[in-house]
Structure 1
Amino acid sequence: MEKFLCPVFDEAFSSWIYRCIKGSPVVGLMLGNIHVRSAPAKFIGEVRYEDPDFDLRSKFIRFCRKELSIDDDVLVATTSRMGGSLLPWSARRLYCSECLSRDIADGLLPAWRKSWCYVTSAYCSVHHIELSYFLGHEGLNKGWAAFAVEANRIKEPPSSKVFRIWQSDPVHSTKNEILKKVSLWLDESFSQSDNLALRQRLECFEFVLRMFLQSPTTQHVGGVAWHITHWGRGGSRLGRYRYSFIHSLRMGVIEAKINERVCAFVLAAKVFSIVSDEDVGVMAEAMRDFYYYFSLSRFELGRRSATFGCRQDYAYVIRKLKSYPLARSPGFMDFLMGIQSEEVR
């Protein structure tokens, strides 16, 4: 084990391997030009990658395990995962700038954390800040590349009035408080994965999150969270004419950057009554001239989220939401009634 560096707490497997390669010439020679394998996806220009962090069947993990004779206990520890859905490898771009800076201060190469890899990732529970979004490539050196971006970032005040409000108090501090409450709520669901009610609650929360982040296409205006950056214009994308309703639900959570994601978290927290109406009301008041969705009732949020193009889309959403009977709460039922009020006729 002398050739291995110790994994940082919560470090992703691919990040650990990259740091071992850079920290040990022996490991570098044994692994050579190892990379994450990809294959063409359904649509032209889309690529599907293997999962080098959690999938023990991936060629990346199997090759590393064979060449480095990684102990089973170490492998289990570095590839273990919480409950909830994972983002695909190419979409794992959320990171905590403070975590990366702390690694550097400790004399380490920046390590990518596993907790940043989930559909429900938006908040660092260690440093109590929202995550940042990395715009670079999806290589093994993402941790170092993201730190380099942060280190060279020129700190300037937001150029628009909207983003000045979004990044300033009381909106900014309220966002963090809401994200903290959602993070604790999610941790409870993750820690009791054998509890059917909590598992259904988590799955239902993820689906509502996907609805708020539905990717804009020529056929669908997109989830309401996208309006936080398009400022009410919806942002239909001409290249998305082939995307089905279900595919746009899947793609939205992959494409969303941190502002859209945080917005969706706040709205979902309201639907599931994770936070009080007073908490969201602070943001609603400050943002009322730019983003009125925070002030809407749960029923009205459901109605505005009913972006169905046909009866099949409506049936799919209702079937999914009704498949979580143990996740129902008064707030969620109001949201569901709002969706049902917009049934395609």
Structure 2
Amino acid sequence: MDIKKFVTPEIIFGKGAIEQVGESCLRLGAKKVLIVSDDGVIDAGWLEKTIHCCRQVGLNYATFYNITTNPKDFEVEKGRQVYEAEECDAVIGIGGGSVLDVAKAIAVVATNGGNISDYEGVDQIDVPLPPMIMISTTAGSGSEVSQFSVIVDSKRRKKMTIISKSLVPDIAIIDPYTLTTKNHALTAATGLDVLTHAIEAFVSVASTPLTDVQAKNAISLVAQYLRPSVASRTNEEAKTAMAMASLQAGLAFSNAILGAVHAMSHAVGGRFPLSHGEVNSVLLPFVMEFNFIAAPKHFLYISELMGVDVRGLTEVEAGRKAIELVRRLAEDIGAPQRLSDMGLKEEYIKEMSLIAIEDACMITNPRDITVKDVEYLFSQAF
């Protein structure tokens, strides 16, 4: 039988949804939660809001917020120490992908022991995790609904991809109002990450009808609403649409996995402190060019979803429009166009390619790929 699975947490979506966090923790039986965040979340006032909601329902809490853009294994260990010292029994993550990934990783090592590197790969987690509530404050990572956690191994200078159904949070809270505190550059970078999630999930060899419907709607929403969301912090319609796009792209890639763009950007992010979304935005059109022959009909659908009238065009002509549209969107919102624009040097191509080819995300790329292919794609992106 051709059996498909689709995993998802309970989802609370809408303006003001963050106010549900305290009650959500109580429903899961939490007595004391570790709230994981970062400086940006604190500056925007969302940590204070979360603490207020916990206090309102009489829930005890501790906090941990020493997290960097591409979070490291030693940050996870520090968070674990706080969790244990404070005798917590649940985890709240509030922030972007880095924060949510660390929150999940803390839950792993707090219950399963050892180092987070012990859980690299697929289905390496044996002991059930404590209750996890994830609150996304960026329309970007999709970590609030995914079975992924990506953490840098500081010794190997490599991003570890941890994949397990155990990492799917119990409750995901998505409040579009939190997006109003992001600047235009972060809005652009995280929005292009959403688009990358959706496109890679849609063309993944592990895609299903359940993931396709999520991915396709996310692509359409990004095409319509990312530009106005970047243009205005107060455009409520655009923020709500991008929050939904991020959620749906997250559901899609959590179940269909990803591809070469993410494998390559993980290699870059493990070595250099660069924005994951911006690296994705540079790599995406080049990888789309490479993957095109593996799924031309899918690319035709992407063109349609992004607003192209494909009548009168051949499948190839229509499909290639998708690559042009992705490039134009990135240009319009001011995203970097080349890796060299971000300060990378070509001398690192071989090293990054060897790391990328071993990434778990390569398994579901629609076209067979070699390390030489990866080197070529990196060189094109410079």
Shared fold (TM-score greater than 0.5)?
no
Class of the TM-score when normalised by the shorter of the 2 chains:
0.3 to 0.5
TM-score (norm 1): 0.37
TM-score (norm 2): 0.34
